[in-house]
Structure 1
Amino acid sequence: MGYVSSLSSTVTAYEPVTTSGEISFSGLGNGTDFSEIIDATIDAESYQLENYESQKAENEYIIDLLEQLSDAIDDFNDTLDDMDELDEFYSMVGTVSDDQVDVDVDGNADVGIHTIIVNQLALQDVWVNTETAYDSEETVVASSATTLSIDFDGETIDIDVAGGTTLEGLVTTINGNVNARDKFEASILDDGDGYYLVLKSTDAGSDNTISITDTGTLTGMSVAGFENTQAGQSAQIKVDGFPTGADDWIERDSNSIDDVVEGIEFNLLSTTDGEAIQVSIDYDTDDMFDTITEFTEELNQIILDIQLLTGRVTEEEDSDEETYTIDSYALDIVYNEMKSILSSSALGFTRYDEDTGGDYYTALSQIGFETDTDEGSDTYGQLILDEDELEEALDNDPAAVAALFAARSEGESDSEGFQVISVIDGVTPAGEHNVEYTVSGGVLVSATIDGQEASIDGWTILGTGSKSKGLYLSVSDEGDGDFEGTARVKQGKIGELSDSLDDVTSSETGTITLLIENYEELVTNLDNQIYNEEKRLDALETSLERRYAALDATLSSYENQSSLLTSLTAQLD
């Protein structure tokens, strides 16, 4: 398999200038084949060139392996990014007590029970020209050019109709009118006895109504001939008893309503005849279980990739995969950092206590995860999941399980004297922050967070130092004195792992990125060494050819002299 360094293009390939091919050896001297001697000499001198080429191929292979690992980590990180916040990680399910309403829920929905009454469905405004049943769609309805005027929500839209237009052509003309687009549309109704022109508002709702104001000279049509067969109206509902007035309703222009209760989309199918339907929202623990197992499988593949690349484990003997290991301190750091994140408590979490509260789950080991320490196992070094224990944890407290994985930039205070107002996602460091402040004369006079001076504004404290930047607190205990407490910024394991992997594959400062650049630099240096060695060998070959050419000429001269002497001696005899 051949590899080409991404930096090799900066090195000019050496072009041989040897004169071989211009010089030939006849072997007239003593029958010696000097070409074979030169080739053997060059081959013997090429050991360093071969060594450089071997090193280059090896380094390019390492680059390829590192790029594959970087791509795999990026793909895994994409998966993490889709589940590193609670509303993304949560899986919720809605159950409806009757079939007049259906619901779709997402991770923003809260567990609980809602009621809904549907007084009326949203309908589109529909008008049919009942004056004339045309014989066919090809019936000409405009003997000459004319204009059809339609009012939509107080706006008059004039539609020019060309002479000779058929019923089907009229539909096309109306639907192609730029001013009518997205407001209303035309179609043809066939009742078996004839064809009728139908006009219908694009959207439902009482604000999306139409009326025909002028039919021009269209054949078989008049303003009075259009009947409003379905009046446009908005959906009317009450949710959780609101609005309270008997004739008061929440109105929407659609039967799919997603802006009344956060995280819930109500799909209205029919009215409820004044009866309240119950909608129950709960965690979909089966889907959350699947999300966690998917996370585990992809994570273990990344762990295995690094193990194979660093020689911690080897491929099975019957595997067709070519194995290669890299002795890299940088990859060791990446591997150990991942293992540390997976085995440690979540940042900013505090162990649950019946009296003081806290987080029910603070580590993956509490919900069924452990690291396989059996070196003879196929899953050595990977996370092993006890599915029964995970199911028990999800049944016991699914919100706590979700928080362990996907809490992100959630600020909490362990002190009664101050509260966390906000933190800045991606800026405020996750973990525990020590807060100290002084109140004197009924005024907040100083504050530090993690030993760094903080900004004060009235009764608020803002972390400006590197350890707490963006941590915004509100002091509620205004009594004089020196106070101390802990603010916590919580981050789940997915976010912590994702942030760490971002540092690994960052395009500028990533651990693997810099490692690849280092090997690419080695390849470039080897290209230069190969160039110089090829140049040296070419010069050597040229020199040898000239020297052996001179030798061959000398031997040939001696041979000629010998022949001459032999001939003269024979004549003397």
Structure 2
Amino acid sequence: MASSTSALTSALLSGSIVISGLGSGTDFNEVIDQLVEIESINMNRLETWKATWEEKIEVITALNTRMLALEEAAGAMDTEKEFLSRAATSSNTSVVTATATSSASTGASTVTVGQNVKHIVSTAGCADADTTAYGGSGGTLILESNGVSYNVAIDAADTLNDIVDKINAVTGENIVASIENDGTSSNQYHLVLTSGTGGDAGRITATQNPTALSLGGKDMVVSDTSSWGGASIGLTGMFTGDKSVASVYGYTFTVASSSNPSTIGADSFELNWTASAGGGSGTITVPADYTPGDSIEVEKGVFIQLGEGSVSDGESFSVNAYANDIDDAELGTWSGPAISTEGNYQGSVSKTFSFEVISAGNLQAGGGGDTIVMRWTDSLGNTGTVSLSDADQSYEVDQGFTIKLDAGTVTHGDDFQVNVFAPDKQQGQDTGLAQNCKLIHEGFSDTTITPVTDSDATFTYTYGGETTSVAVEAGTVLADLVDKINNDENNPGVEASIVNDGLGLPNSYRLVLTGTNTGAQYQISSVEHDFTGSNFSSGGDAGGGFSTSQLATNSMIQVDGFPTGDVFLQRTSNTVTDVITGVSLALVDGGTSRVTVSVDASAVADKIEAFINAVNYVQDYIRSNTKYDAEGDETGVLIGNYAFQIAKSQIDSLLNSSIPGLTDGEDAYTLLQQIGITSNPDDEGRWIIDEDILEDALADNPEAVAKLFINDTTTGSSGVAKQMYDLMDTQTNDETGICSVLISNYEGIVKNIDKKIDSEEARLELYRQRQVEKFARLEATLSTLSNTQTALESAIAELPSSSGD
């Protein structure tokens, strides 16, 4: 007995009482569980109560979500531009199609997509028109247009005015020369040539130019052939000579030949060359196996091409190469040291670079001072930064344009601009559509067998004014060259492909280079390679054996007669979005179309329907969760909730009321009911739309319908969309909104219930422990009694028999 009592005491102290039921044959644990369950009635009531409040919070949260959706729907149509959706139509969809956004104004515009667009060439800026000589070395200026050549005699002392007069005297209306003032503070005068014939045929080309004015995109031109024989001379590449050395570099090439005459492509001879600027000179050996028309590298991006014919010892020709396409800086707010604009612009369109200092400091010669950082943006939307740390160094900005600052202090926020020029001010185009550039090679024998080079080499091209080089290993075949170009990680946007011309000739496989961007700024040019051991040509007008199949061009349009005359608005794409506000024009072909913008009644009706649906989305939910069901099965969770009823009442009142600021008898509509929007008493008051009435109202007076919904700052009226937005904005405020306040209150109730539940859980645990202790003692007592009973029964069994023996 003492042993059982001691064990019970120990178990009670350790909190690990286990009632086995062996002593009594009864499962007291089950009895205890049942007693605790009976005692938990208050706990169960609390859990049910908590679940009820949590369900209410869930419903309120869902209502808040619906009210936010209504706020969004209202906010998307509470201004006139948002509400009155626009539709654009074109009278001639074979010329242009149009789409409109809500920011478009109603009305009509005449859109002309260029046809037979005239070529306009403009030189870089000149200091004046009537004093400075721009005749260069003097000689014959040869201009070509529409298949006709015009020889203009130029004197070295000729001014811009003189050159204009001389050109017009020879060309008449076929090429019209003029002077344009761009309005800048320096070098504002430009010689402008306009073709008399439109389209590609009317393109103006200067095949010989002795002047100091660049008229071609390669920045180089033959300037004198008076001492040259009959062989043609071609130029390819893109001149890279620096403006800081000279604005015009003059090259003279002289034949040195032991045999007179020497036949090009049959006899070997030498060309000695000298440059008037930069100190360049050299000797070019033209081998006997030279292929007429192939490119021969000179220097600084200059390549010459000699055509078939013969040359004699001492014959010479001259080339002008230009580095005057970067203007001086327009200083703006600049207060720092002197700015030098240098390099040689390699782009194909004129533009303006705008600079702003974003990291200032003191720039020193030789370095050691601060690093000056300037952000630049060009007029085409490109942007970047240039960092300058040494006043003795020139730093590249973009496309061959470099800049240099003298030593001195540079101020944060200071700005300046630099204009850069390309001769093609407006391309001569048959149709004013933007297109990409395409070059086609003269051809190769196969795609997978014959290597294009038997030694390691480089294939180089320029796209959009940026030069890219591709390493080409010995043994590379044409198909592999295509892969190397396309997979080059530095590829700026040129796609290589192969076309079989189907003629079965030794050069039927044509390598094609295609720009992936439309727009005149994305020309492919200056192709070169140093392949050996194959017949992979290096001639063509683009170099490297490539000829231009298609120039990259801008789209060209006039809107309502602007610009006037032969000038067009130019864009890089055939989708024009920034000429007519809110209207996107998709250009299809040359011609004229009338583009009309009107109210899109169908889209407006859709917005109204979406708004009413959002209203019903809220109202239906409130009705569902506040309704009374006599049997109780479908009674709403928030029945009798005053806040819910207020919210519903406010929405209904807003939609039923006349619009503040609108006057009956003066304004066409003052109530939603007048345009077919009413509540349906047969469907619990849901809001409905009579589509016929709404359609008639929108057709008759869409602006009056809009006033029922929008915030009209002109009249001071506040329509239902604006009112609803404001109401929902208030009702859904994170702190003071009706739902937020209810949720906060209800969460407080749940928190208090949780405290009671915690307290009840603790009480029930104590109750359980007391029951365990009680039944443990009972188990111990019963075990003792059982043992005593067993002992007595054994003792009785051992007593002597009481029989008479």
The two structures share one fold, judged by TM-score above 0.5: yes
1:495 to 722, 729, 741: 722
Contact 2:496 2:512 in 1 (8 A): yes
CA deviation vs aligned residue, 1:329-384 (integer Å, no higher than 9, x gap): 3323322222232223445x322655xxxx54343222111223x3xx3x212212
1:285 to 590, 601, 607: 601
1:350 to 651, 655, 662: 662
1:69 maps to 63
Contact 1:122 1:204 in 2 (8 A): no
Residue type of the alignment partner of 2:604: M
1:364 maps to 672
Larger of the two Rg values belongs to structure: 2
1:325 maps to 638
Contact 2:497 2:512 in 1 (8 A): yes
2:503 maps to 1:190: no
2:713 maps to 1:394: no
Alignment of 1:119-518 (within 5 A): 119=114, 120-136=431-447, 139-177=450-488, 180-182=491-493, 184-193=494-503, 194-217=508-531, 219=534, 220-224=536-540, 225-245=545-565, 247-272=566-591, 276-311=592-627, 324-347=637-660, 349-351=661-663, 359-372=667-680, 374=681, 377=682, 379-405=683-709, 407-408=710-711, 410-412=712-714, 488=716, 490-518=717-745
- Shift in alpha-carbon separation, 1:133–1:163, aligned structure 2, 3 A: closer
**What is the deviation of 1:503?**
3.1
User: Alpha carbon RMSD of aligned pairs, Å?
Assistant: 3.8
Instruction: State the distance in 2 between where 1:332 and 1:18 align.
Output: 58
Residue type of the alignment partner of 2:708: L
2:92 maps to 1:92: no
Residue type of the alignment partner of 1:351: T
Residue type of the alignment partner of 2:669: Y
**What is the deviation of 1:264?**
1.2
- Shift in alpha-carbon separation, 1:554–1:173, aligned structure 2, 3 A: closer
Residue type of the alignment partner of 1:325: L
- Shift in alpha-carbon separation, 1:192–1:153, aligned structure 2, 3 A: same
Contact 2:435 2:552 in 1 (8 A): yes
2:313 maps to none
- Report the number of matched residues: 461
2:409 maps to 1:101: no
- Shift in alpha-carbon separation, 1:558–1:395, aligned structure 2, 3 A: same
Higher relative contact order (CA 8 A, sep 6+): 1
**What is the deviation of 1:74?**
3.3
Instruction: State the distance in 1 between where 2:594 and 2:776 align.
Output: 104
CA deviation vs aligned residue, 1:469-526 (integer Å, no higher than 9, x gap): xxxxxxxxxxxxxxxxxxx3x5442233233223333344432233223323322322
- Shift in alpha-carbon separation, 1:401–1:509, aligned structure 2, 3 A: same
SS at the partner of 2:586? strand
**What is the deviation of 1:295?**
2.3
Relative to its length, the structure with more helix (as a share) is: 1
Contact 1:505 1:513 in 2 (8 A): yes
- Shift in alpha-carbon separation, 1:546–1:397, aligned structure 2, 3 A: same
Contact 1:63 1:516 in 2 (8 A): yes
- Shift in alpha-carbon separation, 1:548–1:123, aligned structure 2, 3 A: closer
Contact 2:109 2:559 in 1 (8 A): yes
Gaps of 5+ in 2: 1-12, 115-430
Contact 1:25 1:549 in 2 (8 A): no
Greater mean alpha carbon deviation, residues 168-177 or residues 532-541: 168-177
**What is the deviation of 1:148?**
2.6
Greater mean alpha carbon deviation, residues 302-311 or residues 290-299: 290-299
Instruction: State the distance in 1 between where 2:526 and 2:724 align.
Output: 63
2:190 maps to none
**What is the deviation of 1:260?**
0.8
1:478 maps to none
Residue type of the alignment partner of 2:560: D
1:538 maps to 765
- Shift in alpha-carbon separation, 1:341–1:548, aligned structure 2, 3 A: same
CA deviation vs aligned residue, 1:428-448 (integer Å, no higher than 9, x gap): xxxxxxxxxxxxxxxxxxxxx
**What is the deviation of 1:100?**
1.7
- Shift in alpha-carbon separation, 1:330–1:75, aligned structure 2, 3 A: same
2:215 maps to none
Residue type of the alignment partner of 2:674: Q
**What is the deviation of 1:32?**
9.1
SS at the partner of 1:412? coil
Contact 1:84 1:495 in 2 (8 A): yes
Instruction: State the distance in 2 between where 1:535 and 1:397 align.
Output: 72
**What is the deviation of 1:303?**
0.8
- Shift in alpha-carbon separation, 1:299–1:221, aligned structure 2, 3 A: farther
Greater mean alpha carbon deviation, residues 17-26 or residues 510-519: 17-26
Residue type of the alignment partner of 2:559: V
Instruction: State the distance in 1 between where 2:76 and 2:449 align.
Output: 54
